[in-house]
Amino acid sequence: MAPLVPVTADPALDLAPAVRRTFGASVRAYVALTKPRVIELLLITTIPVMFLASGGVPELSTVLLTLAFGTMSAGAANAINCYIDRDIDAKMRRTRRRPLARHQVTPARALIFGVGLAVLSTAGFLLAVNPVAAAGSLFAILFYVFVYSLLLKRRTSQNVVWGGIAGCMPVLIGWASVTGGVAWTPLVLFGVVFLWTPPHTWTLAMRYRDDYAVAKVPMLPVVATERRVVTESLVYTYATVACSLLLWPVAGMGPVYGAVAVVLGLVFLAEGHRLLRAVRAGVTGVHLRPMRFFHLSNVYLALLFTAVAVDPILS
């Protein structure tokens, strides 16, 4: 007796959806290599600076080109980082669903994809925006790949402090895209992001401390006590708020930015002190709720840079 086979009106009609699903899964895997959530955060700091550099609403074409090539640039750095970190990503709960850890993309293709994006983004900035923006974009990619990913990440607990420089570059790129140069104003905002990065990242690392320990990545929460991590995070939080207020006189910001910076700074500091009080009282682990600080830090940066964009329009 012949084996039973499913009967279909046209086998080709059944094959097409399978091909589409495979293609769609591949597209999603390559998009995931670029770490879209990280790119969103970078773009939050790019667009407002363009408003500030323009003294109002910047040219739409400049904004769109900067966003397009900036997305490609950040995606390139992230994809190459996924290639470099594919061994530790497979060990960590937070990252083990990334495409290389799940073998959805081969390492060679991921590397080619990342390098290709780097070339296209740099060429795009150079030809369609300006050389200063192109140089900033290329520097950010090279710094993230060679200094942070290859040199610092697995060797020192200060990895995110200095490695965070790459994440500050969109501020300078956004300013340069509009003005063709760099000034004190974007350098102050560069400082805000630089000082904001350690407490933002360390509180996330507190939540995933065991992951980093298994992967042998010496994030500060892995090698230091929770009290030290919280204390240093609070110091950086104070420095972040102080730097944000420095923008007020340096850039001649109006009352909108000043009021927002003060209120956000007080809320941000209050949350940092909550963590410090809790750890001093003997609270440990998840009961410290470090992710509450982490999420608030995202809100802080987003609203602060929103004020950077709105202030020149209303002033």
Architecture of domain 31-181: Orthogonal Bundle (1.10)
Average pLDDT over residues 123-130: 98
Q: How far apart are CA 201 and CA 297, in angstroms?
A: 10
**Rounded mean pLDDT of 14-27?**
60
pLDDT level of residue 16 (50, 70, 90 thresholds) = very low
pLDDT tens across 256-313, in order?
999 999 999 999 999 999 999 999 999 888 889 999 999 999 999 999 999 999 999 9
Long-range contacts of 154-163 (CB under 8 A, 24+ apart): 154/88, 154/216, 154/217, 154/218, 155/218, 156/218, 157/218, 157/219, 157/220, 157/222, 157/223, 157/224, 158/220, 159/217, 159/218, 159/219, 160/197, 160/198, 160/201, 160/202, 160/219, 161/197, 161/198
Contact 186, 194 (CB under 8 A): no
Across the range 193-200, mean pLDDT stands at 97
pLDDT digits (tens, 9 = 90+) for 22-72: 888 889 999 999 999 888 888 899 999 999 999 999 999 999 999 999 999
The Cα 85–Cα 101 span in angstroms is: 9
Structure tokens at 41: 């955060």
Residues 6+ apart with CB under 8 A from 51: 57, 58, 308, 309, 310, 312, 313
pLDDT, tens digit (0-9, with 9 covering 90-100), for 210-220 = 999 999 999 99
CATH for 183-315, options being 1.20.1050.10, 1.20.120.1780, 2.40.37.10, 1.10.3720.10: 1.20.120.1780
pTM: 0.90
Tell me the domain boundaries of the chain: 31-181, 183-315
> How confident is residue 209, by pLDDT bands cut at 50, 70 and 90?
very high
